[in-house]
């Protein structure tokens, strides 16, 4: 083995480790996405083959038939990688950094093959034998790489088996409250909530018009569905029964700089204004506009119970939600019923804040935030979709409605329940001062502040939650 070959192998290991930790675990969180079960199975098999190759390269020379088997393993790895590329293309949209990393991995692997195949062909021409080939520290480095590949191969295999056991509620059941066949316009249809709503509506036989920013992501939505990239693509004589407006810049994907605050507010206010403009020019008005908002409208509280009649405290979250709700109000002047969903923390494994907690908790690195006494008002994602359908089907519901489960919990209880469900300890605690230092107002309002919100309006209008307790929700989604 030449120094150049070992260098290329080291580069391959480094890029593979980056892909695994940064993309598969931290950002894409494949281990908890049911759609990625087959991808994880391919990763598991490939990691096992990598572990075998690392051990051979570090400790042995395989001659004759054994060398031919190594060549076969290398060829098998190429086939698995191609299958993986196809599976990824069909099941998810890769971020740019992952596509670049995959390209570099493929190029580097080709260079490794160019240098390694002549060696293996030479070994294949010799008498069949297994010859020890200790190479000092390189042998131990190869063993470490083999152990790492084996561990993540086992992790991917276990995750794939877990995903095979996870069964969500049938999508069409979530919108059973909607009679007949409706045409529903959904903005933000590729998001965490919008994608599940769109899938539920189409599965139940309703027509969905999905407004998306990225048409490529719309390919993940189940057909049949009408995809548009602008509301001006909807003709004035279109018959739309309901509009669900969920679009907006993600609120927790970065520090709240002045520029980011403007983008967060403008994305929601502008889109909602455009929706109202569409309603104004439609010859036949939709019956209802269900527009997004959040429990941030109430501002920061301690233990006080908050219903829809509660007042607010000033903070950025309130300013954002207040502007968002006000932008939807003019639709009422066109005879449209307007309902603003004051949504809490949405619990699910395909997105939302819980997915950011799963990886550290699964590796035993989870814990409470600050004192842990702040309230977390949450709702399971399928219950939120069911509530949206209930709102559309209930003419008596107007104005703000709290989209939260009936039993909010403190951060300490939330942390303990998640750790219990994952069978992991949760002994770490992120200090309040550290969160404030690096998160600023985002940490103060979203992580350390809290609201103890009760869904009075939903309950009084006959909505029945499937998951009133956090334990029930975690048992359903995990």
User: What are the φ and ψ backbone dihedral angles of 247, each rounded to 5 degrees?
Assistant: -75, 145
Tens of pLDDT along the chain (478 residues)? 788 999 999 999 999 999 999 999 888 889 988 889 999 999 999 999 999 999 998 999 999 999 999 999 999 999 999 999 999 988 888 889 999 999 999 999 999 999 999 999 999 999 999 999 999 999 999 999 999 999 999 999 999 998 888 877 888 999 998 989 999 999 999 999 999 999 999 999 999 999 998 877 777 788 889 999 999 999 999 999 999 999 999 898 888 999 999 999 999 999 999 999 999 999 999 999 999 999 999 999 888 999 999 999 899 999 999 999 999 999 999 999 999 999 999 999 888 888 888 888 988 999 999 999 999 999 999 999 999 999 999 999 999 999 999 999 999 999 999 999 999 999 889 998 999 888 888 888 889 988 999 999 999 999 999 999 999 999 998 8
The string of DSSP codes covering 106-126 is: HHHHHHHHHHHHHHHHHHHTS
Are 176 and 206 a contacting pair, CB within 8 Å? no
Q: At what angle do helices 381-392 and 192-203 cross, to 10 degrees?
A: 60
Q: What pTM was estimated for this model as a whole?
A: 0.87
Query: Quick one: which of 149, 117, 155 has its CA closest to 12?
Result: 149
Contact 81, 106 (CB under 8 A): yes
């Amino acid at each position: 083995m030449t120094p150049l070959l070992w260098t290329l192998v080291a580069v391959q290991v480094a890029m593979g480790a980056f892909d695994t930790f940064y993309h598969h675990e931290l950002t894409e969180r494949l281990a908890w996405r049911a759609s990625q079960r087959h991808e994880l199975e391919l990763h598991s098999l490939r990691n096992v083959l990598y572990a075998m190759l690392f051990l051979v390269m570090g400790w042995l020379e395989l001659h004759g038939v054994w060398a031919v088997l190594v060549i076969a393993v290398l060829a098998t790895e190429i086939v698995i990688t191609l299958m993986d590329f196809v599976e990824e293309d069909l099941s998810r949209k890769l971020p740019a950094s992952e596509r670049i990393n995959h390209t570099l991995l493929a190029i580097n692997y080709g260079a490794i093959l160019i240098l390694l195949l002549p060696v293996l062909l030479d070994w294949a021409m010799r008498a069949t034998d297994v010859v020890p080939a200790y190479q000092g520290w390189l042998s131990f480095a190869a063993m470490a790489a083999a152990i790492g590949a084996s561990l993540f191969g086992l992790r991917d295999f276990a995750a794939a088996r877990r995903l095979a056991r996870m069964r969500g509620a049938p999508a069409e059941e979530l919108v059973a409250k909607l009679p007949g066949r409706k045409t529903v316009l959904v903005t933000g249809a590729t998001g965490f909530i919008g994608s599940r709503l769109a899938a539920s509506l189409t599965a139940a036989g309703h027509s969905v018009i999905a407004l998306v920013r990225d048409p490529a992501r719309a390919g993940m939505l189940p057909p049949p569905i009408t995809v548009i990239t602008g509301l001006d693509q909807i003709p004035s004589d279109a018959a739309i029964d309901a509009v669900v407006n969920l679009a907006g810049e993600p609120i927790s994907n970065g520090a709240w700089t002045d520029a980011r605050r403007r983008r967060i507010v403008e994305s929601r206010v502008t889109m909602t204004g455009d929706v109202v403009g569409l309603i104004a020019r439609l010859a036949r008005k939709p019956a209802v506009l269900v527009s997004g908002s959040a429990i941030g409208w109430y501002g920061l509280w301690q233990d006080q119970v908050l219903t829809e009649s509660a007042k607010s405290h000033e903070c950025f979250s309130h300013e954002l939600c207040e502007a968002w709700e006000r932008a939807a109000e003019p639709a009422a002047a066109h005879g449209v019923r307007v309902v603003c969903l004051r949504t809490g923390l949405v619990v699910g494994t395909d997105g939302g804040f819980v997915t950011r907690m799963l990886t550290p908790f699964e590796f035993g690195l989870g814990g409470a935030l600050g004192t842990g006494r702040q309230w977390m008002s949450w709702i399971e994602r399928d219950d939120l979709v069911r509530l949206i359908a209930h709102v559309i089907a209930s003419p008596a519901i107007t104005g703000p409605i709290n989209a939260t489960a009936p039993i909010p919990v403190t951060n300490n209880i939330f942390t303990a329940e998640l750790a219990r469900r994952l069978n992991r300890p949760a002994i770490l605690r992120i200090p309040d001062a550290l969160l404030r230092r690096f998160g600023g107002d985002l940490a103060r309002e979203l992580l350390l502040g809290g609201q103890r919100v009760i869904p009075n309006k939903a309950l009084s209008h006959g909505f029945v939650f499937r998951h009133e307790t956090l334990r029930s929700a975690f048992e359903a989604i995990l």
